[in-house]
A = this chain, B = another copy of it.
Amino acid sequence: MNPEAILSQVYDPQTGHLSGGMTVRRHLSDLRNSFSNPAAVDEHLKQEDPLLYEVVAVEPGDADGDLHYGLGILYPGQIDGEYYLTKGHYHETREAAEVYIGLRGEGMMLLEDEQSGESRLEPLGAGKVVYVPGHTAHRTMNTGSEPLTYFGIYPADAGHDYGALAERNFHKVLIEENGNPVLRDRRIEEQP
């Protein structure tokens, strides 16, 4: 135990504030190719480039057995019926799992197995926990009308691999139909 190490942080489940971390902010323009309909994104960007989500990450150590954690806030909204979403990633260290603890709001996690390509949808929101096994791409979507906030905790050596998904995105998309979230196959003709 390094006497200099800062071991305590404070957080706010409502605002997604977490002390002592590094913040990443993603706007709609950063997510253009994550949505099914990039043309609809471009149309929206003519008016505004809203903040879609922020993640504050705390990395207390990098030795074997250490953990990192982050607090995310994903705002509500849609592009052409598709819910606001995070880029999604694999872990660089593929076997690294992650625990997501929902604090506020209503959403879903889309999980996609690297080997089989199979998709699963798991509820993430206030009072929900989702376990993301290793070798699994994962993305968060806000299906509600208020911000979705959640902790993610993962091994320090997990790393984030966005590249694999930047090339070929997730196989499925989560669309609102008649007021409900429905998982659909991604339509290839909508790719840019």
Q: How many copies does the complex hold?
A: 2
Which A residues, 107 to 162, have Cβ-Cβ distances below 8 Å to chain B? 111, 113, 116, 118, 120, 122-123, 127-136, 151, 153-156, 158
Which A residues, 30 to 84, have Cβ-Cβ distances below 8 Å to chain B? 58, 60-61, 63-67, 69
Question: Known: A101-B101, A122-B8, A153-B153. Is A1-B133 also a contact (CB below 8 A)?
Answer: yes
A97 surroundings in chain B (CB, below 8 A): 60-61, 65-67, 156
A111 surroundings in chain B (CB, below 8 A): 1, 7
* Contacting pair A99 B155 (CB below 8 A): no
* Contacting pair A63 B95 (CB below 8 A): yes
User: Is the CB of A180 closer than 8 A to any CB of chain B?
Assistant: no
- Residue from B8, B66, B91, B158 in contact with A128 in the complex, judged by beta carbons closer than 8 Å: B8
Question: Which A residues are within 8 Å of any B CB, using their own CB?
Answer: 1-3, 5, 7-13, 18, 58, 60-61, 63-67, 69, 91, 93-99, 101, 111, 113, 116, 118, 120, 122-123, 127-136, 151, 153-156, 158
